[in-house]
Structure 1
Amino acid sequence: MDQVREVLRYHHYAYRTEQTYCQWILRYIRFFGGKIHPRDLVAHHVERFLSDLVVKGEVSASTQRQALNAIVFLYREVLDLPLDGKIMPLRSKKKPMLPTVLGKKEIKSFFQHIEGTHALMSKIMYGSGLRLMECVRLRIKDVDFNRKRIHVLGKGDKWRSTILAQPIIREMKIHIEYVKALHHRDLEEGFGEVYIPAALSRKYKNAAMETQWQYVFPSKKRSIDPRTGRERRHHVQESGLQKAVKRAAHRACIDKRVTSHTLRHSFATTMLENGTNIRMLQELMGHADVKTTERSRWSAATA
């Protein structure tokens, strides 16, 4: 597993991806008793493991695909062993559900029951259509107050630009001033470094210490980077926002399954109801396929 981590880091995979891939690879090894080395397992063993995930684990198609990606990485990049033959496991029959969206009254009630930084993060997700991790990983340089835009590094490391809602601009400015002051204190104490991609850190030696690269939503305490061992201030944990959203929905007596992603879907539905072109919305949302965006149209019709 040390070798797996080493190769993942060599290819500059995100730390979260590293954790996920390692978990799936370990699960794959343990599925066959934990005593057989993966090099002694072949394609039909992979197929058996993936099929078991569906039959007994009842996982979704996306989860099964994630497990497959991790195992393929193991064989292709780490062991340098091709998996001979096609891998054709039983496929999950779970169909994607229509996304949950909140109506105007529900949105108003929701925001009356959430406060602090979690409220601001929720407003950004609802006002700009950001995904959970896109919001959590937002950096100061990504917020353009002059043009009222937010630049987002989304799935597949693809950049897009979305709107910065007018009602939250003042609140955002106040919050970012607080973050700048926090960063200044860290610098005075001999810290102030933030994680940036390896390629950028080589090109811009001092970027990690600069204010513009700091996270908009930093954690309250500094922590040790698990890869470098350096003490840094990372972004907040996404689990805090997830819990705050569920708690606010419960307090607002919203009888729907509300998650942080519901805010993003509600943004899409609101934009469509206000007459936004589907192609323009696709760009704002960062969807590779317009069919994904069209699900919001069905949600708007059934809301």
Structure 2
Amino acid sequence: MEDELKDFIHYLIVEKGLAKNTIVSYERDLKSYTKYLLKIEKISSLNNVQRTQIIHFLAHLKDQGKSSKTLARHVASVRAFHQFLLREKATDQDPSVHIESPQLERTLPKVLNMKEVETLLDSPNISNHFGIRDKAMLELLYATGIRVSELIGLNMGDIHVEMGFIRCIGKGNKERIIPIGQTADKALTLYMKEGRKQFIGKSYHDEAFFLNHHGKRLTRQGFWKILKRLAAEAGIDKELTPHTLRHSFATHLLENGADLRAVQEMLGHADISTTQIYTHVTKTRLKDVYSKFHPRA
């Protein structure tokens, strides 16, 4: 099983060109799957897997308290794996063909209101290079709606403040050109002129745009710690995630009349149905405003 899994991961990297995080997710899910087959079902050959064993594996995950979203992701991983094995003639059947994904509970993304966004974005202390960097990151996230993984993946050549845009490589190595506003432009310019050079040390990475105190590319975990600290300092008691500013970006654009297709393009969503969840957010917020302020609500 280990060899088949390695071949599949190689296929995802070389032929499909999937993003690193997506490949890591596939590999983690399928290692869990093959480990279950070996240890629990006592199956040593993937050609012997039946539909029943896959159902038992999903039940095993559910017993562990895994969410419907996690189960659906495992189903997708297992299905893609078995389709690959059949196509490569490593097996003569696909036991996953009639396995259905669990119904997902669609939860609305949590967003900040405009006052909370302004409070958070004004929280970094720009009298030092750490605050200058943090301010630039927050302003850029809210100005463009890029993912945190895309933010920390930015290189020097991706930033074009003179022309008012950034170049971003998203999921599946797809390139996006996203405009930035004057406020983000100003924060980025200050970081480039006064902030970034103070992070550069012996381990200087000449391409990475946002650096940590070691002079290396900032990590996702590093950003997450910064965000939690700044939110606490700003007195924001809402549950924040690294995606919160991305959700807020999309919601505020749509609230102010932006075209759904344009928002989809800026977010890098392959399917517009993913972007449409933000229309539900805006409708919910409108209902809340109506109920709060209309005299006969």
Query: The TM-score by the shorter chain falls in which range?
Result: 0.7 to 0.9
Could you tell me whether the CA contact under 8 Å between 2:124 and 2:230 is conserved in 1?
Answer: yes
Q: 2:258 aligns with which of 244, 260, 276?
A: 276
Q: Please tell me whether the aligned partners of residues 150 and 162 of structure 1 are also in contact (alpha carbons under 8 angstroms).
A: yes
The match for 1:167 is: 183
Higher radius of gyration, 1 or 2? 2
Instruction: Quote the sequence identity (%).
Output: 27
1:68 aligns with 2:78: no
C-alpha distance 184-170 of structure 1, shift in aligned 2 (>3 A): farther
Mapped to 1, the partners of 2:198 and 2:238 lie a distance apart of 39
1:81 to 74, 91, 115: 91
Q: Relative to structure 1, is the Cα distance of residues 300 and 255 closer, same or farther in structure 2, using a 3 angstrom cutoff? A: farther
1:238-253 equivalent positions in 2, closer than 5 A: 238-253=220-235
CA distance in 1, matches of 2:266, 2:23: 28
Which residue of 1 is the match for residue 210 of structure 2? 217
**Structure 1 residues without counterparts, runs of 5 or longer:** 193-210, 223-232
1:253-272 matched pairs, under 5 angstroms: 253-272=235-254
Q: CA offsets per residue over residues 48-81 of structure 1, 9 Å max, x none?
A: 21343345434233x2343234334544258822
- The one-letter code matched in structure 2 to 1:52 is H
Q: Out of 162, 166, 191, which is 1:150 matched to? A: 166
The amino acid that maps onto 1:168 is A
| Alignment partners' CA distance in 1, 2:102 and 2:44 | 27
Q: For the structure 1 residues 246 and 90, does the alpha-carbon distance in structure 2 shift closer, same or farther, using more than 3 Å as the test?
A: farther
Decide whether the 8 Å contact of 1:51 with 1:91 is kept in 2.
Answer: no
Q: Give the letter aligned to residue 59 of structure 1.
A: S
Give the 3-state SS of the residue equivalent to 1:297 in structure 2. helix
SS in 2 for 1:150: strand
Q: Partner letter of residue 217 of structure 1?
A: F
Distance 1:123 1:218, change over 3 A: same
In the TM superposition, residue 114 of structure 1 has moved relative to its aligned partner by: 4.4
Secondary structure of the residue aligned to 1:151 is: strand
Counterpart in the other structure of 1:42: 50
Cα distance in 1 between the residues matched to 2:45 and 2:224: 36
Q: What is the root-mean-square deviation of aligned Cα atoms in Å?
A: 3.2
Please give the alpha-carbon distance, in whole angstroms, between the structure 1 residues aligned to 2:90 and 2:191. 48
Deviation of the 1:264 alpha carbon: 0.7
In the TM superposition, 1:10-25 aligns within 5 A as: 11-12=13-14, 14-25=19-30
Change (3 A) 1:80 1:120: farther
Matching residue of 2:277: 295
The alpha-carbon distance between structure 1 residues 184 and 31, as it changes in their structure 2 partners (threshold 3 A), is closer
Instruction: Using the TM superposition, give the Cα deviation of residue 261 of structure 1 relative to its aligned residue in structure 2, in angstroms.
Output: 0.9
Counterpart contact for 1:98–1:299, Cα < 8 Å: yes
CA contact (8 A) 1:59 1:92 kept: no
In structure 1, the partner of 2:9 is: 8
1:105 to 103, 106, 115: 115
Q: Deviations over 1:83-103 (max 9, x none)?
A: 434544464344111111111
**When the two structures are aligned, how many residues end up with a matched partner?**
267
Identify if the C-alpha distance between structure 1 residues 286 and 21 changes in structure 2 by more than 3 Å, giving closer, same or farther. Answer: closer
Shift of 1:128: 0.8
Give, in angstroms, the shift of residue 240 of structure 1: 2.0
- What do residues 197-254 of structure 1 show as CA deviations (whole Å, max 9, x unaligned)? xxxxxxxxxxxxxx5xx121245448xxxxxxxxxx5x32212222332343344343
Q: Which runs of 5+ in 2 are unaligned?
A: 126-130, 286-297
